[in-house]
Amino acid sequence: MSEYLIDGGVPLDGTVKASGNKNAALPCIAAALLTDEPVILRNIPEIEDVQVMFEIYAALGGSVKPLEPNTYRLQLGDITSSVIPIAQAKKIRASILFAGPLLARTGKVVLPPPGGDIIGRRRLDTHFLALTELGAKVKTGETFTFNAKSLTGADIFLDEASVTGTENAIMAAALAEGKTVLTNAAGEPHVQDLCQMLVSMGAHIEGIGSNILSITGVKKLNGCDFTIGADFMEVGSFIGLAAATGGDLHIEGTRPQDLRPAKVAFGKLGISWAHEGTVIHVPRNQPREVNCDLGGMIPKIDDAPWPGFPPDLTSIITVVATQVKGTVLIHEKMFESRMFFVDKLIAMGARIVLCDPHRAVVSGPSRLHGSELISPDVRAGMAMLIAALCADGKSIIRNVYQIERGYEHLVDRLAALGARIVKNGS
């Protein structure tokens, strides 16, 4: 098992380029099943989750050919199977994204329970609701089986604004007969990327970016040449990295409009940035002090579906809060196990009171010291890495596979910014 060896306490400075959005790349790979024509996807991050999605696509009858770094040509021959391979399905939650396209193309899907980060209960009900409304029949057991003689557009109110549930519904509806209206749909930038890709393939989608999507089905979709947008979760992580270590960082290739919710939240900690075009600059000289609410009240940073503060950045901003002056309440409303990693921060010297599975009160600044850590999931793992980089002394982080599932060539990119980090193992 590979691990990171880190000698912290050094501000990170320099320039880093944003990778493509992992959470856009995964549904776009699944969407390549919707056409027999070639699909070229650009700005694909070179990470483990993407490789697993490619393996599933190939197992279903597709071919994947790298054209140049971060660019791939996907071509579907005959769909040879409607069964998602169990070995790959249990590695990533995104394996469920093949359900909508397979159902639309073959009328049948056999899906093992998807894997992914262990951050609390992650419902699949929204997927079943949407696909059932479109005409599928679902059987549950050790695997989930979907069958549909045909798919027909429907007026669907999603029971929650599930990102992957919305994406599955969009992909299935793109080839359904008639019009589908999705209300309470997710509107995150990665959902928008999927919609824009499908439009470039000939799909009819209105309301992109809103919580009401209207999809008029077509009989056939074409191939496309599509570029994935920047990963605003990764950009937010690098902003947190600069803020926590007291560094000066330029981040290239971003979409600043995707960072507006994060800018509000980081602003409560006295952290800001400027942008020129697609380049974000996080300066060294920051107030790094909590901005109290009116009347001197302790402010709250809480996550929410888009356009709220992204839940995937909750772990990151918790670490940043340990390094700024003042007290803030972090409220993770969406996953009941995501905040449990803070006990590791407390062991490193952070002053945090975990009120319950969803709320933590953080008082700073705290002088952190190196520790031995185990990454529980991709975002908490990155948060631990940021904590180790701003801590005094040496740290070891194990199970770094979980971090590298979401961050491309991370060690090399951090080392280029001045981080004292080495990876052991393969």
Per DSSP, the residues of 162-206 read -HHHHHHHHHHHHTSBSEEEEES----HHHHHHHHHHHHTT-EEE
Residues in the chain, how many?
426
CA distance 52 to 93: 11
Closest CA to 229 of 276, 264, 194: 194
Neighbour tally for 55: CB within 10 Å: 16
The contacts of residue 297 (CB under 8 Å, 6+ apart) are none
Q: Is the separation of the CB atoms in 413 and 392 below 8 Å? A: no
Neighbour tally for 8: CB within 10 Å: 23
Half-sphere exposure of 59 (CA within 13 A, CB side): 17
Beta pairing, strands 13-17 & 248-252: parallel
Closest CA to 316 of 271, 251, 286: 271
Radius of gyration (Cα) for the chain, nearest Å? 22
Q: Is the separation of the CB atoms in 205 and 158 below 8 Å? A: no
Q: Is the separation of the CB atoms in 19 and 413 below 8 Å? A: no
**HEC secondary structure over 68-88:** ECCEEEEEECCCCCCECCHHH
* Residue 22 zone, left/alpha/beta (φ > 0; ψ -120 to 50; rest): alpha
Closest CA to 50 of 24, 87, 69, 32: 24
Q: Is the separation of the CB atoms in 81 and 111 below 8 Å? A: no
**What six digits make up the tokens of 412?**
């090399």
CA distance 408 to 426: 15
Catalytic site residues?
117
Residue 373, strand partner residues: 397
**What six digits make up the tokens of 14?**
């320099």
